[in-house]
Amino acid sequence: MDHPIYYPKSEYIETDTGNKVSRRATIAGPQNIILGGKTVIANGAIIRGDLRRTGPGHAVVISLGRYCLVGEGCIMRPPYKTYRGNFNYYPMKIGDHVHIGANTVVEAAQIGSHVEIGKNCVIGKFTIIKDCAKIADNTVIPPNTVIPALSLFAGSPGHFVEDMPESTQEMVEAMTKSYYSRFQPDPSSAAAQQR
Amino acid sequence: MSPSVEYYCPCQASTPHPPQPNLASSSYSFHALHNLYFCEECDAIRCNHCVMVEVSGYYCPNCLFEVPSASVRAEKNRCARNCFMCPSCKNTLSVVPSDPPDNGDGRIPPTINAAGEPPFFLYCNHCRWDSAEVGITFEKPTGLAAQLQKFEDSAPESLEFERLKEHFEPYLPAASSALARDIPGVARYTPHALSRSRSGRDKNANRQEVPDYRARVEIGAVTTGYALGGGADPDVEFMRHLETVEEVSTLEQRWGNSWVTSPRSLDLKPLRIPLHSKKSKRCPSCRHILIKPEQKAQSVRYKIKLVAANYLPAITINLPHMQAALAMLRRSGRANAEPQDGTMLAGKTYPFHLSFTNPLYDPIQVRLHVQRALPPPHPNAPPEAEKTRRPPFAIMLPTQAFPIAAFAEAWEYDDDEDMFGVEEEDEDFDGARDPRGRSRTVGVLERRANVTVIGGEVMISKESRGDIKFNMLVSYTYRSDDPEPEEPGTPSRLQAQPKQPEMKTFSFYTVVDLGTIIVRDTSSVDMDS
């Protein structure tokens, strides 16, 4: 419960707004990525902010809200398609309190708030995930799927399993907040470094 | 498995006492706190098994269109827009245009039509099924559902069903009123039955005289194409010439169909997506609303939401020896944990921590009581019966009531976030490693904000095995006037008005699962070394 998850202090960079980004994560095109604050990007994650819409000007490629977690080895890649003969990438928007499990590949167009995505999932291109939805571990969501609010999806291809409980929002919020507060630099490793 | 605490809903039993936790059937009566509701009127816990569920709105899970209930019936509970389900993998299909005509010069021709070239067909992104292979193509990419529904409705079985409904329509009110009269409780579920029974009354006299219905479709006598799946000769013929299993559609693929369909997977038709519903929930005894969602389909807010988590203290459980073992593992750098390090051995005593979180805006006093129970004798194991009838473990918990402070607004706790990790954890680990900590394992260990942590101990007898699961009665006392100020009429309150701080007590049962006992023979060596 309250037991901390320690990480070596040197492994993560903490920003002013409390984001913790692993030095071992690959962040491509950081100028196109927005992190809402108190968001953790774990080791080995790959975030492709460089895959931006063609054209001049500044473009936000991937935006994450507050209290999110991008798990170890996750790949976040904006969706792309050829529309009227033009190949283009499209932005990916992710709300607050979204946890993405380890080794999951996300190419969604939109993920709402209070969403839990399990480990080893594939979230296909242009998927839309509404608030308080949950994707079980090892689920494959095909491209263009819409996942309605408060539903649990599992399987390959992912399909609706059951409704989530009415208190999902509070539970996910408490879970993501406690995860962030438990995710701390290891005091023993910090002491070892000073010596 | 990590230790857990679940809450009891008495709806399955006639007594307020829960079943023995070691019975397999008891799991049906215990629920996680977040799945329970609380009826203020009855002052009782309600669960998903006992609440009355009503549909408060329909929507399509793919296009998220909110379907008015009037058109749900006409559209046969399925989406009437452009949402289709792949018949072979249940994924959503997309409408794709055909390839543009080839000019022969290898270049992409200038797009004439923005939507693409007809004919259009449905394509599955997951399993690559496409509707062209079953001969369904469309000239326009819009209004496909109407075209498909026309096809569905023209099936002979569908027409037959419509005629049947028409035939029995006049007798329906009489039948439903008879049902409501003969079976108590049915009327509650069909509110129209009673009002309609007025008209049915007059026909009651001759309700036996339903004229014979003549079916227009004879079983097995339909055209040969439809006879497939009827279990007759064409089926046998088809099965005889099978070359691969894939030629037969699976039961799951045909399950959702309304009538018997061909078993050939080549004959599978795209289905319109079934609608989902938002549900409101009512208390089964007083019919007050417990859950009422907002009208908008994709909103996650509720107009009424009486969940048990807002009334009952949340209990989480923690085994310090397991945490210490994990910490040791991490320090020693061994990645793969040996399960023995955190499990419980027979013949030993272990402390455990229960942390109670108060959701109320008033402080509460909590008292715990363990339901002592002998496991039932095993009829098929007579020699062991003597041993198993002894309680396999003893639980020690503080017997005195302990306080939990009131829940304050969330922002008051925000500053504490950084604090509680660092200092307390060290303390915790020290306690777990230090043998002197033993003296203080039973009792209130810690109080902060609206959380109180109490310690208990479990003594496991030498011969015991199985799960350490016990029922625990939790009683809490609270000031009753503050949590529900909007209801001034309750009789208990009126008579108790003179006594200023009126205290009320609410009790509920929980089951605490500490984990499985490891019989000590192999693992005792590890512990000693």
- Please give the average per-residue pLDDT across B464-483, as a whole number: 80
pTM for the predicted model, two decimal places: 0.80
| Distant-in-sequence contacts of A22-26, Cβ < 8 A, 24+ apart | A25/A70
Minimal-distance CA residue of chain A relative to B64 = A148
Of B94, B330, B421, the CB nearest to A144: B94
Provide φ and ψ at B189, rounded to 5°.
-85, -20
**Cβ–Cβ of A142/B126 closer than 8 Å?**
yes
Residue B186: pLDDT band (50, 70, 90) is low
Asked whether B293 and B56 are in contact (CB, 8 A), the reply is: yes
B34, B125, B297: residue with CB nearest A171? B34
- Per-residue pLDDT of B66-91, as tens digits, reads 999 888 988 888 898 889 998 888 88
Does position A99 have pLDDT exceeding 80, yes or no?
yes
- CA-to-CA separations, B262 to B85, B238, B256, B259, in angstroms, rounded: 18, 10, 13, 10
**B125 Ramachandran zone, left/alpha/beta (phi>0; psi -120 to 50):** alpha
Q: Where are the alpha helices (DSSP H) in B222-293?
A: 224-227, 233-240, 251-255
> Is A38:A17 a contact under the CB 8 Å cutoff?
yes
Q: Could you tell me how many CB contacts below 8 A there are between chain A and chain B? A: 91
pLDDT score for B492: 44
* Chain A residue whose CA is closest to B316: A1
Matching residue, tokens 């198993």: B388
User: Binning pLDDT at 50, 70 and 90, where does residue B104 land?
Assistant: low
Instruction: For the sheet with B66-67, list strands across it.
Output: B66-67, B52-59, B276-282, B289-293, B302-305
Q: Give the confidence band of A36 by pLDDT, cuts at 50, 70, 90.
A: very high
CB interface of B with A, residues 81-120, below 8 Å: 89-92, 94, 108, 111, 114
**Can you give the pLDDT at residue B271?**
85
- The mean of the pLDDT values for chain B is 75
B-interface mutation test, from A166, A175, A183, most B Cβ less than 10 A away: A166
- Quote the minimal CA–CA distance from A87 to chain B in Å: 14
Q: Is the pLDDT of residue A141 over 80?
A: yes
Q: Rounded distance, CA A155 to CA B470, Å? A: 35
Least confident of A83-97, B465-479, B507-521: B507-521
The DSSP output letter for A132 is: T
Q: What are phi and psi of B408, to 5 degrees?
A: -105, 175
B354-384 per-residue burial string, b: 16 or more CB within 10 A, e: under 16: bbbbbbbebebebbbebeeeebeeeeeeeee
Domain boundaries, chain B: 4-36+309-528, 39-56+279-306, 58-100+112-272
- Residue A133 in contact with residue A115, Cβ under 8 Å? yes
A111 touches chain B (CB under 8 A): no
Q: Do A144 and B418 touch (CB under 8 A)?
A: no
Q: Architecture of A5-194 per CATH?
A: 3 Solenoid (2.160)
Beta-carbon separation of A148 and B64 below 8 A: yes
Q: Which CATH superfamily is domain B4-36+309-528 in?
A: Immunoglobulins (2.60.40.10)
CA pair distance B112, B103, nearest whole angstrom? 13
Which two structure tokens, joined as six digits, stand for B413? 């706790």
Provide CB contacts within 8 A for B333, sequence distance 6+.
Answer: none
Residue B331: per-residue pLDDT: 64
CA of A55 vs chain B CAs: smallest distance (Å):
22
Chain B partners within 8 Å of A143 (Cβ): 125
User: Which residue do the tokens 């991490």 mark?
Assistant: B330
Q: What is the pLDDT of residues B278-323, one digit of tens each?
A: 999 999 999 999 999 998 888 999 999 999 999 999 999 888 877 7
Give residue B528's pLDDT band: very low, low, confident or very high (50, 70, 90): very low
Q: Residue B335: is its pLDDT beyond 70? A: no
pLDDT range class, residue B348, cuts 50, 70, 90:
confident
- What does the block give as tokens for B166? 């028409």
> Taking a contact as any Cβ pair under 8 Å apart, which residues of chain B between 205 and 244 contact chain A?
none
